[in-house]
A and B are shown apart, each in its own frame.
Chain A
C-alpha cells in the first residue's frame, strides 16, 4: 500500500485504487440480489487515508461509497454509477477498551462478534447482535442502525454508540458526540446508510454480561398460537432479552445443520430468553411458561448449559443461510408490524406467497414485531423474479396497512427506496432530504439510496443500471 502519497500527488492513486474486473465485480455486490457498477476500490487503513480517498474522488468528480463486510441485505453497499468503493475492512483495530467506563474505541472494520469476544474476559459485550454478527462490521452496524435478537431489551445500535469520528463528504474529519454540537448529529448519522459520510472510528458502550440467563424453546401447533403467545408475553409486562419465532420449514432446515434439538413436529417455535438478576429471571421464566401453556404450547425445553444455549443461538443466527438447503436463492424481507397484528399479517404473508406460487419461511424478531418473511426461489426459472418482486411489494403493503413500517433493521438501501412513498408523505421525504443535504450538499456519498426518485428528493441522476439481476 502506498497510501502515504497525498492526493495532490497521487493523480491515479495507482496501486491504491484497484480497478481490475474481478475485484470490481465482487465489490459491486453485497448479500442482496443486486449488482452495482463501481469504478474502483481502495482499502484505506487510517482516517487520513479515508480522507485522502474521499478527496481524490471529489477531485475526480466521482461519487464514493463506504463498504464494510458487504452483508447488507437492502443493497446499501451496492455502488451506483461509477462510485469509488472505500472498503473499511482493513481498518480493524480495537483502539482502546476502558473496562471501568465500559466503553471502547474501535475502527469501523472491526467485526461485531470480535469485539464481544475480546471483552468477554472482562464480563462485557457489545449489545447489538445482528444474526450476521460474526461477519458484519461495526461501521456497517452504525450505518444501518442494526438490530438483533437481544435488541429487544438492549435497544438497537444507536443506543450503544457514544461518539463517532466521521469523514464528511467534504473531506473534513470531525467527532460527533454529546459535546460537539447542540443537535444530536451522532444520532442523526447512525442509520444514514453511508449517505452522510464515512465513520472512521466509533466509541461504543459495552454492557455487563447478565449473571443469569434462561433460554427456553417452545413449540406450538400453529403459527397463530405462537404469535398470540408473543403478544401475551409483552402484554404481561415481561420484556424478555430476546423473543424470536421460527416456523416449521425453517426450523427443519436449520436443525439439519446445527442439531440443536429444535421441536421438528411443531408448526412454529419460539426462543424466549430472559436474563438479569436471579429472581427476576426465575419469576420471568415461570410467567413465560404459564403464558405459553395457556396458548397451547406443545413442547417446552430450557437450555441446561451454556453449550446448549450457544447451539440454540447458532441455529437461530444461521437460519437465513440454511435456506439454500431448500432453494438456491432467497429474498429476505424486513418489515415491522404492531405485535398484536403479528398473527394476522403472518397469515396474509403466507397467502401472498401461495398466490405467487412461492415458498415462504419465517424466522424473525417476534418480540418487537419485526417480520422476516423469506421468499425462496430459483432465479434460473423463467419469470420467477417478477413473481418474487410482486410478492415482496405485497408483503410491504400488508405490513404498512397493519400500521407497520418498511424496515426494522436492514434499512432501505436500493431495495425499498421506491416504497418510501408508501410510508412517508412528500413533505416527510423532503425533510429527510434536507438532513442529507446538510451533511452532503452535493449528494456524492453513496448516491441513489434511501430517498425515492423524482420530485427533488433523490440524488439527481440516472437510475442505477441492473439493480436487479
Chain B
C-alpha cells in the first residue's frame, strides 16, 4: 500500500528522527507542547469519496470542515464539530458533544494508516463498514494522542444529513425525566445548569418530540468548549491497565520517540 511521495517522505523523516512531535492544526493546543526534535504533520486531501457507500477516505491532515464541504454535495456529513483536522480528532478522540452520549467516533472510523515510530507503515481496518479481521488497532489509535504513531490516512463512515436538526434547552428540574422518555435523541448534555438536547430526524417526528417536551425552548448549539485537553482527560495513570498501556507503548515506540512530553505527562515514557 502506498500513499505517494508525501507519505514516503514522512516515513523517511520518521525513521531518521530521534524525537518527533506530531501536529495537526493545533486546535486543541496539545501540539504546542514542543520538545526538541522534528515536527511531523500528516498530509491533507481527499483520497476517495463514495457517497453511495457512505464512506470517505482522506489524508489525516484534512480539516473536518473541508471534509464536510465535500460531503455537503451528497447531503452527507461526519458528525464531528468542525474544527481541527480529522487526524487530530481521531488521535484525541474528539467527538464533540456526542462523545459522552453515543460513542460515535471510534465506531465510525473504518480504517487507519499509520507511520510507526520506526518509519514503517501499518494499517488496520478496511474500506468496508463491518470488519473483524484481526485485532482492532483502530480502537487503540482513537485517543492515542500520537503516542502510537503518526496517523496519515483515515477512512470514515459518513451519514445522511437528517431532514431536521434542532437543539432545545431547559433548566427545569423535570427536564431529566422528560428527556429520558424521548426516543433516542442525538445528544443530551448538561451545561451551566441547563439541559441541552439535540433532536434530529424527520421533520414531523422532531416536531412531535418538541411538543411532547414541557418547559423546553428552542435554542442554538450550546457553545461549550469541550475540546479535549490532555490535562482534562480524566484517565487513570496507575494500576494494571496502566501497566498494559506502558507495555503497548514499549512495543509500539520502544525508543520513546513520539510526542515525548505527552508521554511523560501520562507516565508513558518507558
Q: Are B136 and A191 in contact (CB under 8 A)?
A: yes
Q: Are A180 and B236 in contact (CB under 8 A)?
A: yes
Beta-carbon nearest neighbor of A195 in chain B: B135
| A290 within 8 Å of B (CB atoms) | no
**Partner-binding segment picked from A50-58, A83-91, A386-394, A402-410:** A402-410
Q: Are A338 and B128 in contact (CB under 8 A)?
A: yes
Beta-carbon nearest neighbor of B125 in chain A: A405
Contacts of B233 in A (CB 8 A): 182
Contacts of B250 in A (CB 8 A): 438
Q: Name the interface residues of B20-79: CB closer than 8 Å to any CB of A.
A: 50-54, 75-76
Task: Looking at the assembled complex, report how far the CB atom of A194 sits from the nearest CB atom of chain B, in whole angstroms.
Answer: 12
Q: Are B137 and A182 in contact (CB under 8 A)?
A: no
- Digitize A419-436: 1 where CB-to-B-CB distance is under 8 Å, 0 elsewhere: 010011101111110111
Beta-carbon nearest neighbor of A419 in chain B: B133
Q: Are B241 and A239 in contact (CB under 8 A)?
A: no
Q: Name the interface residues of A49-88: CB closer than 8 Å to any CB of B.
A: none
Contacts of B167 in A (CB 8 A): none
Contacts of B122 in A (CB 8 A): 425, 427-428, 430-431
Q: Are A403 and B137 in contact (CB under 8 A)?
A: no
Task: Looking at the assembled complex, report how far the CB atom of A148 sits from the nearest CB atom of chain B, in whole angstroms.
Answer: 11
Contacts of A140 in B (CB 8 A): none
Q: Are B1 and A431 in contact (CB under 8 A)?
A: no
Expressed in whole angstroms, the Cα–Cα distance for A188 and B144 within the complex equals 12
Expressed in whole angstroms, the Cα–Cα distance for A435 and B127 within the complex equals 22
**Partner-binding segment picked from A2-10, A110-118, A168-176, A261-269:** A168-176
Contacts of A173 in B (CB 8 A): 240
Contacts of A429 in B (CB 8 A): 134
Q: Are A278 and B126 in contact (CB under 8 A)?
A: no
| A411 within 8 Å of B (CB atoms) | yes
Task: Looking at the assembled complex, report how far the CB atom of A46 sits from the nearest CB atom of chain B, in whole angstroms.
Answer: 19
Expressed in whole angstroms, the Cα–Cα distance for A185 and B51 within the complex equals 32
Expressed in whole angstroms, the Cα–Cα distance for A275 and B205 within the complex equals 13
Known: A181-B242, A182-B268, A187-B140. A409 touches B1 (CB 8 A): no
| A29 within 8 Å of B (CB atoms) | no
| B255 within 8 Å of A (CB atoms) | no
Q: Name the interface residues of A196-217: CB closer than 8 Å to any CB of B.
A: 207-208, 210-211
Q: Name the interface residues of A223-278: CB closer than 8 Å to any CB of B.
A: 231, 234-235, 237-239, 276-278
A-B pair number, CB within 8 angstroms: 228
Known: A234-B54, A280-B202. A368 touches B129 (CB 8 A): yes
Contacts of B140 in A (CB 8 A): 183-185, 187-188, 435
Q: Are A188 and B251 in contact (CB under 8 A)?
A: no
Tell me which of A151, A195, A437 contacts B130 (CB under 8 A): A151
Contacts of A432 in B (CB 8 A): 124, 134-135, 137
Q: Are B136 and A188 in contact (CB under 8 A)?
A: yes
Known: A185-B245, A237-B75, A427-B121. A368 touches B136 (CB 8 A): no
Beta-carbon nearest neighbor of B162 in chain A: A280
Q: Are B183 and A435 in contact (CB under 8 A)?
A: no
| B269 within 8 Å of A (CB atoms) | no
Known: A174-B240, A277-B183. A365 touches B143 (CB 8 A): no
Expressed in whole angstroms, the Cα–Cα distance for A422 and B136 within the complex equals 17
Contacts of A184 in B (CB 8 A): 93, 106, 139-140, 142-143
Tell me which of B121, B133, B247 contacts A405 (CB under 8 A): B133
| B184 within 8 Å of A (CB atoms) | yes
| B209 within 8 Å of A (CB atoms) | yes
Expressed in whole angstroms, the Cα–Cα distance for A352 and B191 within the complex equals 59
Tell me which of B103, B130, B235 contacts A369 (CB under 8 A): B130
**Partner-binding segment picked from A154-162, A311-319, A460-468:** A154-162
Expressed in whole angstroms, the Cα–Cα distance for A228 and B221 within the complex equals 39
Known: A158-B136, A191-B135, A427-B121. A405 touches B129 (CB 8 A): no
| A288 within 8 Å of B (CB atoms) | no
Task: Looking at the assembled complex, report how far the CB atom of A102 sits from the nearest CB atom of chain B, in whole angstroms.
Answer: 8
Contacts of B205 in A (CB 8 A): 276-280
Known: A239-B160, A340-B53, A437-B251. A450 touches B75 (CB 8 A): no
Tell me which of B123, B136, B234 contacts A145 (CB under 8 A): B136
Tell me which of A234, A238, A276 contacts B52 (CB under 8 A): A234
Q: Are B248 and A438 in contact (CB under 8 A)?
A: yes
Beta-carbon nearest neighbor of B236 in chain A: A180
Q: Are A147 and B240 in contact (CB under 8 A)?
A: no
Task: Looking at the assembled complex, report how far the CB atom of A58 sits from the nearest CB atom of chain B, in whole angstroms.
Answer: 16
Expressed in whole angstroms, the Cα–Cα distance for A368 and B98 within the complex equals 24
| B4 within 8 Å of A (CB atoms) | no
Task: Looking at the assembled complex, report how far the CB atom of B95 sits from the nearest CB atom of chain A, in whole angstroms.
Answer: 12
Q: Are B244 and A439 in contact (CB under 8 A)?
A: yes
Q: Are B136 and A190 in contact (CB under 8 A)?
A: yes
Q: Are B183 and A424 in contact (CB under 8 A)?
A: no
Q: Are B183 and A208 in contact (CB under 8 A)?
A: yes
Q: Are A435 and B251 in contact (CB under 8 A)?
A: yes
Q: Are B235 and A435 in contact (CB under 8 A)?
A: no
| A285 within 8 Å of B (CB atoms) | no
Q: Which of B147, B202, B209 has the most CB of A within 10 A?
A: B202
Task: Looking at the assembled complex, report how far the CB atom of A83 sits from the nearest CB atom of chain B, in whole angstroms.
Answer: 20
| A339 within 8 Å of B (CB atoms) | yes
Q: Are A403 and B133 in contact (CB under 8 A)?
A: no
Task: Looking at the assembled complex, report how far the CB atom of A345 sits from the nearest CB atom of chain B, in whole angstroms.
Answer: 12
Contacts of B152 in A (CB 8 A): none
Known: A159-B107, A180-B235. A403 touches B247 (CB 8 A): no
Contacts of B138 in A (CB 8 A): 187
**Minimum-distance CB pairs A-B, first 6:** A187-B139, A237-B160, A434-B251, A174-B240, A235-B52, A277-B205
Interchain Cβ contacts under 8 Å between A and B, 27 examples: A158-B106, A179-B235, A180-B236, A182-B147, A184-B93, A184-B140, A188-B140, A191-B135, A207-B184, A235-B51, A237-B160, A276-B184, A276-B205, A277-B201, A278-B204, A279-B203, A279-B205, A336-B129, A338-B128, A403-B128, A407-B132, A424-B133, A431-B137, A434-B248, A435-B135, A437-B251, A450-B134
Q: A158-B107, A425-B123, A438-B244 are in contact. List 18 more A-B contacts (CB 8 A).
A: A158-B136, A180-B235, A181-B245, A183-B140, A185-B241, A187-B106, A231-B52, A234-B53, A235-B51, A278-B204, A279-B208, A336-B130, A338-B127, A340-B50, A403-B127, A405-B128, A407-B131, A441-B247
